[in-house]
Amino acid sequence: MNVKLILLLSFFVLFCACREKLLDNGHVVGEDMPSIELQLTDSITLVNLRSVSQNNSVVAIYFDPYCDFCRAETESILKNINRFGSTQIVFITSSSLDNMVMYSKKYGLEKYSNIHIGRDRERKYSKVYDVKGFPHISIFSKDHKLNTLYFNAVGVEKILAGLSE
């Protein structure tokens, strides 16, 4: 009898563990979008990452304004912006406000209704995802659940694929 109970419990634990898709850095597909306060380019307005979109997918890109890979990824996204539809793209940096404003102006990010840029003054994104390099990309479903993470520049095709996972 005890053997059957142990086998049953083992099966249950294994079943539950296999249902969650574990990502490379220990995060699990389906976990909630983190609550991160972002300072906007006007230097006054603060918004929470979670409030950027109510019913749309979100692509969060943690970047450094002087990172060549970040710049290339930004240019690629802008060239293909129509392919993102209503997906909200949020550029997040821990760099200075001046550097963030410069980046936004350089790429004209303010002219896109589905692109947002904000400064993570507390470096919370970096802490939550243990960021080691730039860009770091997290993709969330329209209900703010994690779809996937990318730890470097991956290109538009891979980002779009992450949206459909």
Residue located via tokens 């003054």: 121
Of 21-25, 26-30, 65-69, 98-102, which range is least confident?
A: 21-25
* Position 100 pLDDT exceeds 50: yes
What is the pLDDT at residue 24? 60
Written as six digits, the tokens of 123 are: 């470096």
Encode pLDDT of 76-90 as tens digits: 999 999 999 999 999
d(CA 64, CA 119): 11
Mean per-residue pLDDT over the chain, rounded: 89
In sequence order, which residues have a C-beta less than 8 Å from that of residue 114 and are 6 or more positions away? 56, 81, 84, 86, 87, 88, 89
Stretch among 3-17, 23-37, 85-99, 110-124 having the lowest mean pLDDT: 3-17
Domain boundaries, the chain: 27-163
Closest CA to 140 of 81, 79, 54, 80: 54
Higher pLDDT, 24 or 28: 28
Q: What is the mean pLDDT of residues 129-157?
A: 95
What is the pLDDT confidence band of residue 23, given thresholds at 50, 70 and 90? Answer: low
Cis peptide, bond prior to residue 135, ω within 30 of zero = yes
What is the predicted pLDDT for the residue at 104?
Answer: 98
Residue 9 scores a pLDDT above 60:
no
pLDDT over 90 at 26, yes or no? no
> What are the start-end ranges of the H helices in 50-96?
68-79
What number does CATH give the domain 27-163?
3.40.30.10
